[in-house]
Amino acid sequence: MSVCSCKFAGENKLVQVGRGVASVTDIFWEKVSKGSKCWYWIGKRDRCNYGVFRYQGKKVGAHRFAYFDHYGVWPLVVCHHCDNPPCVRPDHLFAGTHSDNMKDMWNKERSRPLGRPARRLENGGFCGNGHPVTNTSYYVYGGKKRCKSCQSEWSQRYYRRKISKKLSLL
């Protein structure tokens, strides 16, 4: 455990650890278990299973620090090719934007409404309300795929409520 409370100048800044001295990078990689495919963060993790590492007095994602340590830059978003949150292997990580991450999530079919199974479009799956999903039964609005049947049902309910409110005012 590091005892230093200073702001680090870079990833190679030496910090006091117990009775010895180690670099921040050494401390980080001691908390990694290198498997044959992914390298797993074995330190503290957050509620979404992403590794958490303290750097310069702040909590940062372990995958973000691994990317920074390897490539030397802090991108806005660090995404996983392997879709494995505790993975910190640099060649499994890529820089992107939030939009890139959402597109990657949708393309890999990891998108799902809360508490519902992930969508499987190519298998002719079903939307969250049980409507069959095909390549023509949805549309994209605001970067999200939406079921046409669900939208139609919602619109009908909305206008019925609107009309009934107007009639009740008469």
Say if residue 94 is in the same domain as residue 148.
Answer: no
Tell me whether residue 79 is exposed, middle or buried, using C-beta atoms within 10 angstroms of its C-beta: 0 to 12, 13 to 18, 19 or more. buried
Domain holding 133, by residue range, is 117-170
Share of the chain above pLDDT 70, in %: 74
Say if residue 40 is in the same domain as residue 90.
Answer: yes
What is the pLDDT averaged over residues 80-90?
Answer: 89
pTM exceeds cut of 0.75: no
Q: What are phi and psi of 14, to 5 degrees?
A: -85, 140
Q: What is the pLDDT of residues 38-76, one digit of tens each?
A: 899 998 888 888 899 888 888 999 999 999 999 999 888
User: Distance from CA of residue 53 to its chain's centroid?
Assistant: 17
Q: How many domains does the chain contain in total?
A: 2
Say if residue 60 is in the same domain as residue 139.
Answer: no
Q: What is the pLDDT of residues 7-50, one digit of tens each?
A: 333 444 544 445 555 788 888 999 999 888 889 999 888 888 88
Say if residue 28 is in the same domain as residue 77.
Answer: yes
Length of the chain, please?
170
Question: Which among 75, 72, 45, 82 has a CA at the least distance from the CA of 61?
Answer: 45
Q: Can you read off the two tokens belonging to residue 137?
A: 């039964």
By the 8 A CB rule, do 132 and 126 touch? yes
Q: What are phi and psi of 51, to 5 degrees?
A: -65, 150
Say if residue 81 is in the same domain as residue 131.
Answer: no
